[in-house]
Structures are given as C-alpha cells and as structure tokens.
Amino acid sequence: IRLGTKKTNTNTVSLVLLDNTLADIYNDKNELDRAEQVIKRNIIRQQKLKANFETAYWLLSSYITAGDIQQKKQKFANAQNSYNHALAINDQYYKGNRLREKAYTLIQLGKIKLAQKDPIKAIDFFNQALTAFGLTDSILLFNKERIFGDNRLIDIFYQKSIAYNQIGQDKLALDNIRLSLLSADRIRFELADVKTKQRFQSATKDMAEKAVGIAFQLLEKTKQHQYAVIILDIIEQTPAPTLLDDI
C-alpha cells in the first residue's frame, strides 16, 4: 500500500482505493486506532470530490469500514451513523441495488442491536437483510428451497438464532441456526477440493454444536421425539458429507 501511495500521489481515486484497503488491513489486525485514522482521512478526501455513479461506491465502502471499526471499538452510535451513511449513498446513487453491501450493512446494524440487548430490533434488521437477498415476501415468509450458499446468509440466520435465544424463543432459535447450516451446506457443494471442504466444515463446527445444544434443551423440555431426530440430522449434516464426497 505504501509503495502504491508513492506511485499514485497525483491520482486521487487510486489513493482512495489504497486507503480503503489499508484501513481494512489495520482493522483485520485489530489496530483500530490506526484503522480509524486512515478511514477518517479517506472519507474527508472523498467528501471534497464530486461524487458520481462510480466514485460513490468507494465512499459507501469507506463508511462501511468506518462502521466496522467503530463497532469493534463498541462505539455503537458512531458505527450506526456510518452504516446509515452507507445505506443513504446506496439509495441515492444505486436505488438500493448494491444488494450485498446493503445486506451486510443491515446485518451489522442488527449486531449492534444485539450488543445493546435489543433482540426485537435486531431481528427486524436481519429480516430486512433477507428481503435484500430476495428471500422473503411482503409478510416475511420465504421458501426454504430458495436458500443458497452465501457467507452473509449464514451470518443472517445465525444472528437471528442468537436474537431468538435472547428472548427465550428456543424453537425459532433452532429453526434459524438450522437454516444457517443449510446455507453452509450449499456452499460445501460449490467447493471442489476436499481439504477446502474440511476447513469450511471446521469453521461451522461451533454453529453445529450450538444447534445440537438447543435441540437437546428442547428435547429435555418437551420430550418430543422430533428433537432427537433433529440432533441426528445435524450430526449427519456436518462431518459425514465431506467424508462421503472423499469416498
């Protein structure tokens, strides 16, 4: 990034792209003060430019990164403000059609509400993200068969599960974490290499264990056989398919 900055010191757009990447790097390394300094500088730089259809996207990205940094620092009001700026840019320049960015921003706003112990509002944001993906109708009903493999979709259903857990809705928590695992399973079919599948499986292991835990609590509470079947389904859904593919 530093070498690129030296080579492009007269090209403002290139500097914007470089600083967006640099802020992401510092954020990933948890060097949050440095990340915040870079992204603030970058937003100020872009605000001095006349935005158009192309350049507005980089400002949108900058605000999302700024929100992520502030969220990690638990400055939730600042994070929410940055995410709202990103959504406003999406609406103004793209009529809300940058759908992956919109969905991600709504997920992050939902996570803020979870951190603030407001699961009802969090669920509302997660449902808006599902709508952005085109998975719900006007009354928030959707067809499970339409679920596809996507990391953000995995996150939506997982976060919804956490929210329902917070309000004591264990059945809905289990339903959503199973939908999260279903999306993860559909990613698995798109991965060609067994080693890659094993790494992905490892990443979803904690989620599967949590799903089994919720199902077991419901089994003990209700004594309904269906939850024992669900536990077996979850166990079979995780390690067995990768082994079967390898065979």
pLDDT tens digits, 170-194: 899 999 988 888 888 887 766 656 6
Question: Which comes out higher in pLDDT, residue 244 or 215?
Answer: 215
Q: Give the pLDDT score at 147.
A: 86
Residue 224: pLDDT band with limits 50, 70, 90: confident
Residue 207: closest CA among 155, 172, 244, 245 = 155
Residue environment code for 136-171, b if the CB has 16+ CB neighbours within 10 A, otherwise e: beeeeebeeeebebbebbbbbbbbbbbbbbbeebbe
pLDDT tens digits, 125-170: 999 999 888 887 656 667 677 888 888 998 999 999 999 999 999 8
What DSSP designation does 150 have? -
- Structure pTM? 0.85
Q: Please state, in angstroms and rounded to a whole number, the distance separating the CA atoms of residues 41 and 221.
A: 54
Residues 6+ apart with CB under 8 A from 133: 99, 103, 150, 152, 153, 156
Residue 89: closest CA among 35, 121, 43 = 43
Residue 25: closest CA among 78, 68, 63 = 68
Contact in structure between 211 and 172 (CB atoms under 8 Å): no
Using the predicted structure, report yes or no on whether residue 32 has a pLDDT greater than 70.
yes
Contact in structure between 18 and 8 (CB atoms under 8 Å): yes
pLDDT tens digits, 64-108: 999 999 999 999 999 999 999 999 999 999 998 999 999 999 999
Q: Give the pLDDT score at 79.
A: 97
Q: Give the pLDDT score at 83.
A: 98
